[in-house]
Chain A
Amino acid sequence: MDDGRLNKPASRPVKAGYSRPLDFKHGRVDLTHGSGGRAMAQLIEQLFAPAFDNVLLAQGNDGTVLDLPPGRLVMATDSHVVSPLFFPGGDIGALAVHGTVNDVAVMGATPLYLSAGFILEEGFPLGELKRIVESMAAAARAAGVAIVTGDTKVVEQGKGDGVFINTTGVGVLRPGAQLGGARARPGDVVLLSGTLGDHGMAIMSLRESLAFDTEIVSDSAALHGLVAALLDTGADVRCLRDPTRGGLATTLNEIARQSGVGMMLDEAAIPVQAQVQAACEFLGLDPLYVANEGKLVAIVAPQDAGRALAALRAHPLGAQAACIGTVLADENRFVQMTTRFGGRRIVDWLSGDQLPRIC
């Protein structure tokens, strides 16, 4: 007997709801993109997942289960709020990948996975977001790391600066690696992998009221290959650090404080590109305090200094590496420098923000 409609099998499978593709030309981030609903799922499906393109992320869970090689875990995190978002030599996306990869690498670990948390401002153009995300993806691919989990929030217009990105990275410590800021000893040698100030001055060159017509290019780069080349030599490296905000001066003062030592630098040995030097002159800034995003400082036992320097110089990112000073016994923990001029000065901690001097 015919039971009526209810027993009639469906004649066609139910069509999925129409999902309009994201409009990267004219579309903008709106509050729904962060609300956890369909719009956000769309953002992930159409932008983040294809860009970051890995099996783990594609699983689409709240968290990601990771298989790690044996060894001790290193974790690092960085938030990026750089303005402007795009600059010669990079953008906030690439910076977000490089920054955390580098923090893991200078601990003596091989970076493996990153998370990416976005805080987007309502009204931010989707086209720019796409550029940033694709840049992150390219940087991650080049660095051999996968972005395996993430989060997106949207804040009202005026409450954010376009995009803020946080990345957290994990890696596995190389066997035998024992790097730390407290390990520097008198007699150790201070090595620098290349020219100072490129990133900071690239940013300054774009800021309002301080414009230059000749491009200075940021040195934003992933350094784990360079670190591996250095550590592979077997040299006794006490400490590795990347001198980002606050520049070389801040990094060395931190190490001096942690290790309870002093340092003596040789200004003439510190590499600075002529253009960066000129830009610093213009603004009354000291390259020692300007941010870098693709350089590292290595404190190395004196007997291994030659080997270590050669390894840095043999790598493309360390071609201009130099020995810039030595570690001293000094209970005051001063970082001092013999100036090119022949006098001596201390290289103190940075006070406040480096405001351009005019006088």
Chain B
Amino acid sequence: MKFIDEFRDGDTARRIGAQIAAEVQPGRRYHFMEFCGGHTHAISRYGVGDLLPDGVKMIHGPGCPVCVLPIGRVDLAIQLALERGVTLATYGDVLRVPASNGLSLLKAKARGGKVAMVYSAADALALARQDPAREVVFFAIGFETTTPPTALVIRQAAAEGLANFSVVCNHVLTPAAIGNILESPEVRKLGTVPLDGFIGPAHVSTIIGSQPYEHFAEEYGKPVVIAGFEPLDVMQAILMLVRQVNEGRAEVENEFTRAVNRDGNLKAQALCAEVFELRKSFEWRGLGEVPYSALAIRGEFAAFDAEKKFALDTRKVADNKACECGAILRGLKHPRDCKIFGTVCTPENPVGSCMVSSEGACAAHYSYGRYKEIPIRAAA
């Protein structure tokens, strides 16, 4: 597969790994946060950690939209499916998120709720078109990468005058989350979470461009390198971050030049601005209330806003007391620091959202990384 296989080449990986090892300063530790869930997954799945020298540590950030979805929002979706008789359409990742009363959308489906898994927002719209008697609600999640498709289907639904289609909008914004992490006392003042730089998200950046990250580099003095999605991209970005730290620079660099430029996709940005507006505040699981961090559907499209159409009220629901997802999402703790990791909380029985999504730090560590902590004896 072109533009994929070449970016996964093992020999090149070893060489870049050796270069990183050659350039890290002896005795110095480097802590980089990969913001994007896709990067978390790539690092785990390909075992990128094995090719890095000991002094370089990766911290998993909150860039997994499933992981940061508050329980109260999932409850809305379940309520719509079970009590309001709608067909609730959403992406596969959302179906297993554990919500209130021991339910998830998958469990709601087993109880008779109409829940449809779709691969694309367009599929949800198609469901509504196919059957005008069926009320379809699309539960939309995602960062800036996934927002434009939702904007498109809302605009299309408006153009077609579809009366049986609406959207619950949970779209969130990357720069707001990065800012929230950098503002947290542990990072800013206490220094208990050393953070030397960020690997910027790949595909979010194709939409928003590299410009929004410049603020963080300037204001907080942290370098940002936007990296492509493949493991070689991640390694190259780590090399570039090490260099910035060594040279005392805090700039925004772009490793993913084949798809990202400074301005981003203006057409997509304009489309989103037409359909969405900023919410004053939005609750993120693990981060709490974050100002101007999420989108709501504009008044002109109110007919397609499920929250208005069905008069929905989001309840604040606290996480399970033993669940450490909050701290893990902010990079303060590692999955193994959570008392219920791997015992009560497993991919089969996820207690918190970090374990549900395969990009969540806990699921990634459980599925790919646990061996690292347990020495294995070779063949007898």
Contacts and interface: CB of A to CB of B under 8 A. Distances in A.
Nearest to A346: B371
Given A210-B119, A329-B380, A341-B46, A346 B370 contact: yes
Interface in A327-351: 327-330, 332, 334, 336, 338-346, 348, 351
A357 interface: yes
B377 A330 contact: yes
A156 interface: no
A123 interface: no
A341 B48 contact: yes
Interface in B116-160: 117-120, 123, 142, 145-146
Interface in B1-20: 1, 4, 8-10, 13-14, 17
B46 A356 contact: no
Interface in B41-65: 44-51, 64-65
A304 B287 CA distance: 57
B376 A342 contact: no
Nearest to B122: A209
B292 interface: no
A160 interface: no
A210 B122 CA distance: 12
Contacts, number: 128
Contact of A346 (B106, B348, B367, B378): B367
Given A278-B1, A359-B38, A343 B123 contact: no
Interface in A205-220: 209-210
A342 B51 contact: yes
A327 B377 CA distance: 11
Contacts of A336: 371, 376
B231 interface: yes
Nearest to B4: A281
Contacts of B231: 341, 343
B65 A209 contact: no
A341 B47 contact: yes
Interface residues of B, number: 55
Contacts of A355: 92-93, 95-96, 117
Contacts of A330: 376-377
A343 B357 CA distance: 22
Most buried by A among B366, B371, B380: B371
Nearest to A338: B47
B119 A334 contact: no
Given A351-B347, A358-B91, A332 B376 contact: yes
B301 interface: no
A262 interface: yes
B281 to A, nearest CB: 24
B190 interface: no
A9 interface: no
Given A209-B117, A343-B51, A358 B92 contact: yes
B119 A356 contact: yes
A326 interface: yes
A317 B348 CA distance: 35
Interface string B350-380: 0000000111000000111111101011111
Contacts of B46: 339, 341, 343, 345
Given A334-B370, A348-B366, A342 B358 contact: no
A328 B374 CA distance: 14
A262 B93 CA distance: 30
Contacts of B37: 359
SS of A interface (majority): loop
Contacts of B93: 355, 357-359
A359 B45 CA distance: 14
A343 B49 contact: yes
A262 B371 CA distance: 11
B38 A345 contact: no
Contacts of B120: 209
Most buried by A among B49, B93, B142, B379: B379
Nearest to A335: B371
B370 A343 contact: no
B45 A345 contact: yes
Nearest to B44: A345
Nearest to A358: B91
Contact of B47 (A210, A274, A281, A345): A345
A186 interface: yes
Given A186-B379, A262-B376, A329-B379, A357 B119 contact: no
* A-B residue pairs, 3 tightest by C-beta: A343-B47, A351-B347, A355-B92
Interface of A: 185-187, 209-210, 262, 268, 274, 277-278, 281, 283, 326-330, 332, 334, 336, 338-346, 348, 351-352, 355-359
21 contacts: A209-B119, A262-B376, A281-B4, A327-B379, A334-B374, A340-B8, A340-B10, A342-B13, A342-B14, A342-B50, A343-B13, A345-B44, A345-B368, A346-B367, A346-B371, A351-B348, A355-B95, A359-B37, A359-B38, A359-B93, A359-B145
Given A348-B347, A351-B346, 6 more contacts: A209-B119, A209-B120, A328-B376, A329-B380, A352-B347, A355-B92
